[in-house]
């Protein structure tokens, strides 16, 4: 069945981004493949990253771990949200390693799998998941593979980064584990003081640039294209789209594209997004609707119904245009794309 939307994922760019992050960190890098590989396909991302040398993969839930299927024996899957009260059987049946985040999860793991290795999250200031450092006595008797914490403001120059680093150093000195991990993509950019034994990049693997240090180093991974449904003339004084938010100052050629907010191309791009016909830039005009957008195409007189147009989806640029985070741009991409890895 023909699909008038294409999402092309560049496996070599994905691998190159991961290698740069590991080199910058100076320690082994895992990879977050949660949220279906940030919307691009978790299993395909895992396979490409495994080929690049990655051996530790992070998902959010046991459902995500199960969806990955079998993974190579020399690699491991880590469930970041840990074993909830409804995950007991799944945890026992899975080879994935849980991250224990709360006293209840610690007690649950000691009850159901006391001899199996686990990871542990210690909260050093984000106040999201994790045990407080003063609860570390609860960990007695556990076989901890990796002790984690997570930065709240790694993408900003914030005093909390240094505070969390010092708190985590104190935890490292007090809690025994095989490895210690603090840095995500942004944390890797902060420097090797944040690397410890393992880093957990996510966004930057998929083309996101969390800090200036990564500019020029991270390549675009995901490209989206849409077919033209119709080409039309918007006469001077006429409006285009819902709400009549665009009015043509002069006769304007427009291409109507088969994409909209149902596909994750959200309304923040209204009259702000950009598209390309080869090297020619085409501005989004009017509101993004559920299934359609309009782009001005006076500069591309040969464009016609059925031609493909690429949307500007380099994540830093698209985030600036839309006001959305780079994370949202990837994870909201919908199911109507024909996804292809190249």
Q: Of 70, 67, 69, 128, which Cα lies nearest the Cα of 99?
A: 128
> 10 Å Cβ neighbour count for 21?
25
User: Could you tell me which residues are beta bridge partners of residue 253?
Assistant: 233
| Sequence-separated (6 or more) residues with CB below 8 Å from residue 85 | 104, 108
CA separation for the pair 138, 109 (Å, rounded): 12
DSSP letters, 272-291, are T-EEEETTEEEEEES---SS
CA separation for the pair 269, 275 (Å, rounded): 11
User: Could you tell me which residues are beta bridge partners of residue 131?
Assistant: 122
Alpha helices by DSSP H, the chain: 11-25, 34-38, 42-52, 62-68, 88-93, 103-112, 159-174, 185-189, 315-322, 326-331
50 in catalytic set:
no
Compute the half-sphere exposure of residue 114: CA atoms within 13 Å on the CB side of its CA.
Answer: 5
User: Could you tell me which residues are beta bridge partners of residue 97?
Assistant: 78
Q: Which of 62, 180, 242, 261 is catalytic?
A: 242
Note whether 123 and 149 are within 8 A (CB). yes
Q: Which of 34, 62, 194, 261 is catalytic?
A: 34
| Sequence-separated (6 or more) residues with CB below 8 Å from residue 289 | 241, 242, 260, 261
Residue 16, classed as helix, strand or coil, is helix
CA separation for the pair 39, 161 (Å, rounded): 28
180 in catalytic set:
no
Active site residues: 34, 242
């Amino acid at each position: 069945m023909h699909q008038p939307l294409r999402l092309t994922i560049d496996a070599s760019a994905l691998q190159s981004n991961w290698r740069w992050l590991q080199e910058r960190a100076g320690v082994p890098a895992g990879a977050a493949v949660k949220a279906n590989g940030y919307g691009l396909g978790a299993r395909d991302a895992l396979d490409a990253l495994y080929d690049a040398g990655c051996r530790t993969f992070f998902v959010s839930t046991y459902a995500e771990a199960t969806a990955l299927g079998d993974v190579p024996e020399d690699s491991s899957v880590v469930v970041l949200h840990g074993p909830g009260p409804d995950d007991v059987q799944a945890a026992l049946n899975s080879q994935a390693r849980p991250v224990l985040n709360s006293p209840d999860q610690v007690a649950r793991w000691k009850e159901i799998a006391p001899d199996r290795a686990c990871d542990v999250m210690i909260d050093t200031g984000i106040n999201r998941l994790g045990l407080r450092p003063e609860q570390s006595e609860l960990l007695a008797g556990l076989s901890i593979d990796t002790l984690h914490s997570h930065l709240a403001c790694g993408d900003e120059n914030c005093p909390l980064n240094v505070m969390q680093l010092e708190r985590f150093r104190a935890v490292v000195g007090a809690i025994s584990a095989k490895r210690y991990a603090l840095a995500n993509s942004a944390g890797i950019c902060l420097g090797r003081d944040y690397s410890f034994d393992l880093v957990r990049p996510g966004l930057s693997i998929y083309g996101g640039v969390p800090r200036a240090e990564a500019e020029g180093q991270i390549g675009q991974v995901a490209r989206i294209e849409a077919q033209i449904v119709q080409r039309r003339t918007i006469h001077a004084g006429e409006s285009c789209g819902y709400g009549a938010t665009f009015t043509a100052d002069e006769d304007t050629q427009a291409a109507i594209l088969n994409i909209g907010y149902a596909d994750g191309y959200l309304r923040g791009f209204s009259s702000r997004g950009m598209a390309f016909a080869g090297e020619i830039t085409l501005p989004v005009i009017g509101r993004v609707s559920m299934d359609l957008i309009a782009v001005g195409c006076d500069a591309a007189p040969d464009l016609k119904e059925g031609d493909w147009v690429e949307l500007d989806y380099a994540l830093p640029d698209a985030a600036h245009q839309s006001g959305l985070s780079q994370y949202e741009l990837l994870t909201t991409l919908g199911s109507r794309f024909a996804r292809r890895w190249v």
